[in-house]
Amino acid sequence: MDSLAVLGAEIADCRRCARLVEWREQVAAERRAAYRDEVYWGRGVPGFGDPAARVVIVGLAPAAHGANRTGRMFTGDRSGEWLFRALWRAGLASRPESIDRDDGMVLTGAYITASVRCAPPQNKPMPAEVVACRPFLDRELALLPEARVFVALGRIGYDATCAMLGVRPKPKFGHGVEVPAGAGERTILCSYHVSQQNTFTGRLTEPMLDSVFARACELAASPER
């Protein structure tokens, strides 16, 4: 019988994309100087959060020295700092920062996953690698029966979410765009990714991100969904 635990174990052990496996393990072996005394995760990174989540966040991929190091999505890097602060302000996370997978972080009503489960070189997965990870997203959806709102972080996360939910034709991606899915029972909310490329330049601000999660919580709380 499938479960989030079974799925997580399969993701951690997955070796189907040779380029990604080689890169994640190379990074884990060489390590960044700031983390030279740490043991990197260096495997596929499962999603995590509340099994009864109504809000699902779909990111791009683990960061080489973030989730590829800590073993938990968006944990231990600058992107995660932004995301978890926003989730905490929205009442979806128990604390505003996430340092490692044993830090006590608890998500309530939310679940975090990604389009690709291994850290890609230059943070750019190849299209075939995104496709190879699709079955993991499909299985997660089946194991999150209460999921109603999907916050897609960035264009790749948006494309993967549309594919998962069968959205065709696919509306143009844009920050704050809302896309109905599943006969209107579900909604995709688009957000610029919380990458440093966006947050350092001001393309994405904390009020912009807060607005997306406020809307996600509003939609998730609707009795019609």
**For the residues of 58-73, what is the DSSP string, one character each?**
EES---TTTHHHHSST
Domain count, the chain: 1
Mean pLDDT of the chain: 96
What domain range includes position 182? 4-221
Structural tokens at position 196: 């440093």
DSSP 175-208: TT-EEEETTTTEEEEEE----HHHHTTTSS-HHH
Q: Return the pLDDT at 17.
A: 98
Dist. CA 3–CA 6, nearest whole Å: 5
Residue type, position 66, single letter: G
The H or E element that residue 151 is part of is: strand 149-153
Give residue 141's region: left, alpha or beta (phi > 0; psi -120 to 50): alpha
- The CATH number for 17's domain is 3.40.470.10
Q: In the numeric block, which tokens belong to residue 152? A: 């897609």
pLDDT tens, 136-185? Answer: 999 999 999 999 999 999 999 999 999 999 999 999 999 999 999 987 89
- For 180-215, what is each residue's pLDDT tens digit? 998 789 999 999 999 999 999 999 999 999 999 999
